Every structure is written in C-alpha cells, then in structure tokens.
Amino acid sequence: MQITIVGAGSIGLLLAARFSLAGHAVLLVTRTAEQAQLVNARGLAFTDAGGTAALARVRAASFAAPGAAGPSGPAAPDWLFLTVKQKDLHHREFLAQLRGFAGPSTRLLCFQNGVGHMEALAAVFPPHLLYAAVTTEGARRTSPCAVTHTGRGLTEIGRLDAAPAGMPEKKLPEAFAEAGFTARLSNEMVSVIYQKLLINAVINPLTAIARITNGELPAREASLSLMRDLFEEGIQVMSAEGISLPAGLWERILEVCNKTAANRSSMLQDLEAGRTTEIDWINGSLIQLAQRHGIQLQVHKTVCRMVKTIESQTSGGS
Ligand code: KPL
C-alpha cells in the first residue's frame, strides 16, 4: 500500500516506522523542513516495547512544501493516516494544504483524540472517504527521527455513518496486524470515540499534573480516587448526551494504564516538550457538553485549570 502519514509526533512516527518495516511505501509529512531532512538523511530509528531496535527507511516531506508531494509529485496514496493534533484541523489553511496530499480516491484515517475533528474534515473531504481510528497504542517520540513503542493497545477503525465495510477498509486490520498492531473494524465509532474521550480525560490530565507514567497513576490511592471522580463525572455527561457506552469501561481504563504502564501520556509529553496540550479538546469538550445539560463538572474544571497553569509556565505555544 502507498501510505502518507501527516503528523510526525509519537503516533505518526510509530505508524511510519512499523508500516515501513512491514514493506509499505510510506511518506511521512512533517511540520518542519528540519525534521523531514533528518528523517530522509538518517531514517527512522524504531525501538519496540522489548527494546529491540530497527531502522526504518521512510521518505519524508515537509508540510511547508506540499507541492513536493501533492498532485504533481508521486502517485496519490491509497491511505492518508492523519496523526496531527485535533487543534490543527480547525484551521482552514491547514485543511486546504491537507487536500494537496490526497488524490481523488485517497481514504483518510483520522487518529485524533477528542471530538469534533470528523465534522471539521467532512466540510472538506467527501464523507465516504473519511474513517476514524481510535487507538490506545502507547508511543514516545525520543527525537525528531526516533520513536519507541511503549505500550500495546487496540486500534478501532470505521466510518461514522456506520456504512457497511467496503473492500479497502476490510483489508486494513490485516495490514495493521502485519505491521505489529492489533486492529479491528467497528460500526460503532461514535461510541468508540466517546469511550476514548473518557479514557483520555481520566488518564491524561492526572499523569500530566503529577508527571507520572500511565502505570503509576492507578497504583497511588490518591490519584486512583481522582481518576474515579473524573470517570463518574464523565459518565454523567455521556448518559445525558445519550451516548451508549459498554459495561466495564472503568476496568478498561485501568487495563489501558496497565498495558501502557511505561508510557508517558500524550499530555505529559506535550507539557514536557513545552507544547500546548489538548486539554481543551479532551476535558474541555466534556465540560462544554455538560453545560448543554446544566451539569457541573467540578473535577474536570479543576484539572483543566491546573494543566493550563502548568502550560502557561512551560509552553512555547506550538
Ligand atoms: O491515548 C493515550 C494518550 O496518551 O493520549 C493513552 C491511551 C492514554 C496512552 O498514553
């Protein structure tokens, strides 16, 4: 398969390395020209959870120069994996540039945390080419051209309109398995997206505030009880919204912590790198939903304020 991956953070680099090592033609689209140059010159250094290292030869181009990979460049990809942050998708300029990396029948697989991204993309791409992916894989970008697979998870893939699976996406779980991931198709992506929203809203701010790994979070009594508070407030909003959630979601959150025990959540990685976090798109989205139903989310509001305070001390704003 020809795969273009737009976004070279932890998950983007992880997908680029593993799909390239599995023999797919991967183009990685980076934010900066410097990162593209590094990846082209040195390759992508990949380390799996057991510490085994491999070098993936990945072609890279910078987002700043889409003409290099756009319609006049190499053949259009079969799939475009979109791994940029949710906030990037709410800029018209970015969406217009993104079009330059897709051909008329390129399918987009969108890996964003939070909610609202699929709607933003549907304004620009035909809905039948849009797929959501929700992943609980843990990854750490250790340099602009190096990534470690820190924890195994599950990737769920599907369309939001629950249309019957077509041939292109039927082949995806197998391609993911060959690349070393566990993936499955789902026709309940709205619920899956909200489950992931809750997982991130419980794990990410607390790991970011306490600066601890996902595994340390439930191991401490005080943080475990805060996790439970965030979870219960979140469940209240989702049931007011009429989102159907499976039984055992609390246990699933504990399982994600366990399976990605060595991982530093994406929010903690953002804070440590001085980047703006996704708190507004994660806990902030829940707070907005709650307002529609007159529900107060005191614990979510408190963690938002705390993360934003830390962010204002460390962020360079990117
Ligand atoms: O999605 C994640 C994140 O860090 O954003 C989890 C699943 C919590 C893994 O760290």
Q: What is the pLDDT of residue 170?
A: 86
> Does ligand 1 lie within 6 Å of residue 114's CB atom?
no
| CB-based contacts of 228, cutoff 8 Å, min separation 6 | 250
- 274 by DSSP, 3-state: which? coil
Q: What is the CA radius of gyration of the chain?
A: 19
ipTM of this complex > 0.90? yes
Q: Measure Cα distances from 123 to 83, 120, 130, 196 in Å.
A: 18, 6, 11, 23
Q: What is the pLDDT of residue 64?
A: 72
> Does ligand 1 lie within 6 Å of residue 260's CB atom?
yes
Q: Which two tokens stand for residue 62?
A: 């910078």
Q: What angle (nearest 5°) sits at the alpha carbon of residue 290, between those of residues 287 and 296? A: 80
φ, ψ at 27 (rounded to 5°): -110, 125
List, for the chain, all residue ranges whose pLDDT scores fall below the cut of 50.
71-73
3.40.50.720, 3.30.565.10, 3.40.50.2020, 3.40.190.10: which CATH number matches 2-186? 3.40.50.720
Q: Measure Cα distances from 46 to 10, 19, 26, 42, 231 in Å.
A: 11, 11, 15, 12, 34
Shared fold status for 2-186 and 191-314? no
In the chain, what are the domain boundaries? 2-186, 191-314
Atom of ligand 1 nearest to the CA of 136: 7
**18 in Cβ contact with 86 (< 8 Å):** no
Q: Domain 191-314: what homologous superfamily?
A: N-(1-d-carboxylethyl)-l-norvaline Dehydrogenase; domain 2 (1.10.1040.10)
The 10s digit of each residue's pLDDT in 107-157 is: 999 999 999 899 999 988 999 999 999 999 999 999 999 999 998 999 999
For residue 305, the one-letter residue type is R
